[in-house]
């Protein structure tokens, strides 16, 4: 075992007589990223089967489709998020089309880049590569839980914050060990990455701030950067962080839609954050997530409780991961709603700490069994996480051997309309519009923001909008009776009256919660 007890340095091979060739170095460098990419595809394979995993994902897909047709997000399809997520959806859909597997592929790429970023963090800390692979595999396996199989905002911007942490760590080490100040190019690179992360979801501000402290803090502490230079770098960093949002805002201004951009990207999230859940409920939701991620937290304990290694790469990783977890917790708390997919931000630092905990536990084994013990711990926890997410998928068999109600609803709608004809999906998944090649009866396509509990975030009169929709007589109205109790009573009465007067029940699809009705205009 090596002096620092690192996994993977137990019985080193004989020294090489000749330096490795450039091709061999390239292949060795690509081995870990390719392994993590293969693991991402395998662990997330079941995400390609169902049409819907999370309703948010369908909204981004619909926004992207409309954007590619010239109807920009927030204007053509409204939401209470910035436009970074639909921008990424639109980019990949412009190349690969509108099939369901396309955004799921984006999810695979996002989680892979995050896992690779964790590996890079470990290598930039000069810790053994086995730790980096372990952290990446633990992240990939646990990202299949708590809503992570959907390509949601947390999956999209986490690669950017993770690689920013990697840049910050590398700069911190060079400042402390080599006396090198970070070059301005790193300020630009990190600012651009965090800037686009903020254009996906503003909660990235906490991890972006921590990455910035890593980038310049040690250099300032060592006197490599005077305070005046740090202030200039801070101003430049803030500018580059704001640049993606400013550019999006300029584009909307030139189109005459700046007010819509400000409302959707800034004012609506503030209205949403104002309706925070009670502290008791927040604690309960958090405890549920901790129980889901239980074995990862169990591995964290030996990493942080009375650690034996207080200096060197392992200690550096432990301190950074702990601070990162605190920043991620602030990001989870910021919206005040505590949906499970918010906690996906925990996973990168949690995976690093869990890998460090597995390392410490493995070192308790006999010297010849340390590597096997480490692999067993990491592999067992990762496999258990994947098993936990896979059993419900296999049991339900949606999109596998069993029916997919969302696809069935879309097929029923498609039988009743010509491509592009407007439909109104009252309280079901926005993805139906894409699958049925249907137009929109309203730009408020996310049900909860018009007919449901989050209607106040829009800043409009929902009753007036529903009255306008019904007066336009959309060709098809889709009603999910299983979710009907979530529709506001006055709106429900308006819809029932319109259905009785102007529509016939064309077909019914059975959902797990109850029937979904497809109503055809008479």
Q: pLDDT grade, residue 397 (50/70/90)?
A: confident
pLDDT for res 4: 46
Contact 420, 439 (CB under 8 A): yes
Given pLDDT bands bounded at 50, 70 and 90, which one contains residue 17?
A: low
Given pLDDT bands bounded at 50, 70 and 90, which one contains residue 41? very high
Q: Which pLDDT belongs to residue 366?
A: 87
Start-to-end Cα distance in the chain: 78
The 10 Å Cβ neighbour count of residue 54 is: 18
User: The tokens of 348 are what?
Assistant: 């990168």
- What residues have CB less than 8 Å from 29, skipping those under 6 apart? none
Q: What is the pLDDT of residue 270?
A: 85
CA 346 to chain centre: 11
Q: Residue 193 is encoded by which pair of tokens?
A: 């990455």
* Angle at alpha carbon of residue 104, lines to 338 and 513, rounded to 5°: 60
State the pLDDT at residue 26: 75
Average pLDDT over residues 39-64: 95
Per-residue pLDDT, 309:
76
For the chain, what are the domain ranges? 23-396, 405-521
Mean pLDDT of all residues in the chain? 92
| Residue-wise burial string across 383-416, b where 16 or more C-beta atoms lie within 10 A, e elsewhere | eebbebbeeebeeeebbeeeebbbbbbbbbbbeb
Residue 170 has pLDDT above 80, yes or no: yes
77 strand-pairing partners:
73
| pLDDT confidence bin for 373, thresholds 50/70/90 | very high
Half-sphere exposure of 123 (CA within 13 A, CB side): 16
Pick the closest to residue 211 from 195, 229, 227 (CA basis): 195
Q: What pLDDT does 14 receive?
A: 47
Residue 210 contacts residue 243 (beta carbons within 8 Å): no
pLDDT at 455: 87
Phi and psi torsions of 516, nearest 5°: -110, 125
Res 401: pLDDT: 87
Q: Tell me: the pLDDT tens digits for 265-317?
A: 999 888 887 667 888 999 999 999 999 999 999 999 999 998 887 788 999 99
Tokens representing residue 244 in the block: 């993606």
Q: pTM for the whole thing?
A: 0.92
pLDDT at residue number 308? 81
3-state secondary structure of 267: helix
- The confidence score (pLDDT) of residue 28 equals 77
Convert the pLDDT of each residue in 84-101 to its tens digit: 999 999 999 999 999 999
Match 């997410």 to its residue by tokens: 389
Q: Tell me the per-residue pLDDT of 338-367, one tens digit each, with 9 for 90 and over.
A: 999 999 999 999 999 999 999 999 998 888
Residue 259: count of CB within 10 angstroms of its CB:
13
pLDDT value at position 19?
64
**pLDDT tier for residue 8 given thresholds of 50, 70 and 90:** very low
Higher pLDDT, 327 or 176: 327
The tens digit of pLDDT for each residue in 484-518 reads: 999 999 999 999 999 999 999 999 999 988 999 99
Q: What is the arrangement of strands in the sheet containing 503-510, beginning at the earlier edge strand?
A: 439-440, 422-425, 476-480, 515-521, 503-510
Lowest-confidence pick of 5-9, 37-41, 114-118, 447-451: 5-9
Q: What percent of the chain has pLDDT over 90?
A: 82
Please give the average per-residue pLDDT across 214-225, as a whole number. Answer: 92
Identify the weakest region by mean pLDDT among 148-157, 270-279, 290-299, 414-423.
270-279
Check residue 25 and give its pLDDT: 74
Strand intervals (E) in 292-398? none
């Amino acid at each position: 075992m090596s002096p620092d007890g690192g996994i993977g340095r137990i019985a080193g091979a004989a020294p090489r007589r000749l330096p490795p060739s450039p091709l061999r170095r390239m292949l060795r460098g690509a081995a870990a990223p390719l392994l993590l990419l293969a693991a991402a595809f395998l662990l997330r394979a079941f995400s390609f089967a169902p049409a819907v995993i999370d309703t948010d994902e369908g909204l981004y897909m619909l926004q992207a489709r409309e954007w590619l047709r010239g109807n920009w997000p927030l204007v053509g399809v409204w939401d209470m998020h910035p436009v970074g997520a639909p921008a990424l959806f639109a980019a990949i859909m412009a190349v690969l089309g509108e099939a369901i597997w396309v955004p799921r592929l984006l999810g695979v790429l996002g989680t892979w880049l995050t896992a690779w970023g964790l590996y890079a963090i470990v290598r930039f800390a000069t810790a053994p590569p086995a730790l980096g692979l372990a952290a990446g595999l633990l992240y990939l396996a646990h990202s299949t839980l708590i809503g992570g199989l959907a390509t949601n905002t947390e999956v999209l911007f986490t690669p950017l914050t993770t690689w920013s942490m990697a840049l910050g760590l590398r700069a911190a080490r060079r400042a402390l060990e080599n006396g090198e100040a970070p070059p301005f190019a790193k300020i630009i690179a990190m600012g651009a990455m965090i800037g686009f992360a903020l254009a996906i979801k503003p909660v990235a501000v906490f991890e972006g701030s921590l990455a910035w402290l890593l980038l310049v803090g040690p250099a300032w502490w060592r006197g490599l950067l005077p305070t005046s230079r740090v202030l200039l770098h801070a101003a430049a960093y803030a500018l580059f962080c704001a640049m993606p949002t400013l550019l999006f805002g300029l584009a909307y201004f030139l189109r005459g839609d700046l007010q819509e951009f400000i409302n959707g990207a800034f004012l609506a999230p503030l209205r949403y954050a104002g309706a925070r859940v009670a502290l008791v409920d927040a604690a309960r939701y958090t405890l549920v997530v901790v129980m889901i991620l239980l074995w990862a937290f169990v591995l964290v304990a030996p990493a942080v409780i009375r650690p034996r290694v207080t200096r060197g790469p392992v200690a550096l990783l432990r301190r950074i991961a702990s601070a990162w977890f605190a920043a991620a917790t602030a990001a989870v708390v910021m919206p005040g709603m505590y949906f499970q997919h918010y906690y996906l931000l925990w996973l990168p630092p949690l995976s690093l700490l869990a890998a460090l905990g597995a390392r410490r536990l493995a070192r308790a084994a006999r010297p010849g069994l340390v590597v096997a013990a480490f692999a067993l711990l990491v592999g067992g926890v990762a496999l258990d996480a994947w098993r936990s997410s896979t059993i419900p998928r296999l049991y339900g068999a949606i999109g596998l051997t069993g029916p997919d109600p969302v696809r069935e609803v879309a097929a029923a709608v498609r039988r009743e309309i010509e491509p592009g004809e407007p439909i109104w999906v009252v309280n079901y998944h926005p993805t139906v519009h894409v699958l049925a090649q249907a137009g929109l009866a309203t730009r408020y396509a996310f049900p909860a923001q018009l007919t449901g509990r989050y209607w106040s975030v829009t800043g409009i009169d929902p009753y007036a909008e529903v009255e306008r929709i019904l007066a336009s007589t959309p060709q098809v109205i889709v009603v999910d009776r299983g979710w009907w109790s979530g529709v506001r009573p006055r709106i429900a009465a308006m819809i029932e009256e319109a259905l009785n007067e102007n529509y016939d029940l064309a077909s019914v699809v059975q959902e797990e919660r109850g029937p979904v009705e497809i109503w055809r205009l008479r």
